[in-house]
Amino acid sequence: MSIAFVFPGQGAQTIGMGKALAEAYPAARAVFDEVDEALGERLSALIWEGEIETLTLTQNAQPALMATSMAAMRALEAEGITIDKAEFVAGHSLGEYSALAAAGALSLADTARLLRTRGQAMQSAVPVGVGAMAALLGLDFETVKAVAAEAAAEGEVVQAANDNDPTQVVVSGHKAAVERAAAIAKERGAKRAVMLPVSAPFHCALMQPAADVMAEALAAVEIKTPAVPLIANVRAEPVTDPDLIRALLVEQVTGSVRWRESVQAMAALGVTEFWEIGAGKALSGMIRKIDRSLAARQLGTDADVKAALEA
């Protein structure tokens, strides 16, 4: 059995996530304390007792989801399951930062601050209401790229942003162009086109101002060689060089999240089981749609950790 540790992205957040881990494992509690200190506020109070609308704000959701993933990672480590149990790490969008923190490439405090900056920069890159994202269900990535090219008008952007699985590709860009893409997709045989409840158009060219901010922020932090290779979102292949990782994290802000290809790449390299470390089970669902032969396990609570130990 060959395992990859994978880390969820935005959308997995829930009030109360990670609390059971923090109560069961002092090392998990310490993660939330360190993130609170790094940000200069009690993000943990928002995560466990706040309003979901506030937690869902991009600048809060990104460090909060990372903290929950790292709390689960520390709980696993407390039980003797360390990062070298994994052949690879990977994460969906912001989850790539969680993966790098888990693999020791980024410090926890730096990761929290980077994700706060990333969330703020992505939110402010495009005025609210100007951009949009839509999930196109039932079309493959190449078809959606062609749909996006057809839907783009002069002065308007729409791109294939997330290649999640064989049944779901997300487009991102100017709202009118995204709506045109959704209509064209239906004409091309899409089963559904669902506008997503997001506050900004992530992973498209409109995020260039945020990419510029992240280039400056990432230049100021130390990135070490990860303990296990990272399967990078924008390349869908293993990387370990710190300078390349830094460059790819900048590219990721405007580039497509190649999740389907990333999972296929890990499977081709021998991975048979994926552990989704943190909140939710969205990645596990995608993985099963990508390849039914692959096993997936969620690790977001103390009970999940105990079940993994027993297995």
Q: Which residue carries 């509690």 as its tokens?
A: 29
From the candidates 93, 98, 172, 256, give the one annotated as an active-site residue: 93
**Catalytic annotation on 107?**
no
- What does DSSP assign to residue 35? H
Q: Is 212 helix (H, G, I), strand (E, B) or coil?
A: helix
Cα 70 vs. chain centroid, distance in angstroms?
13
d(CA 205, CA 159): 8
CA angle 156/115/130 to nearest 5° reads: 20
Axis-axis angle for helices 58-78, 26-39 (nearest 10): 150
| Residue 93 annotated to the active site | yes
What DSSP string describes 135-183? Answer: EEES--HHHHHHHHHHH--TT--EEEEEEEETTEEEEEEEHHHHHHHHH
Annotated catalytic residue: which of 203, 256, 262, 284?
203
Tell me how far apart the alpha carbons of residues 61 and 69 are, in angstroms, rounded to a whole number.
Answer: 12
| DSSP classification of residue 227 | S
Beta strands in the chain (DSSP E): 3-7, 86-91, 131-137, 158-165, 168-174, 192-195, 230-231, 238-239, 273-277, 295-299
For residues 86-114, one letter each, b for 16 or more C-beta atoms within 10 angstroms of the residue's C-beta and e for the rest, the string is bbbbbbbbbbbbbbbbbbebbbbebbbbb
Active site residues: 93, 203
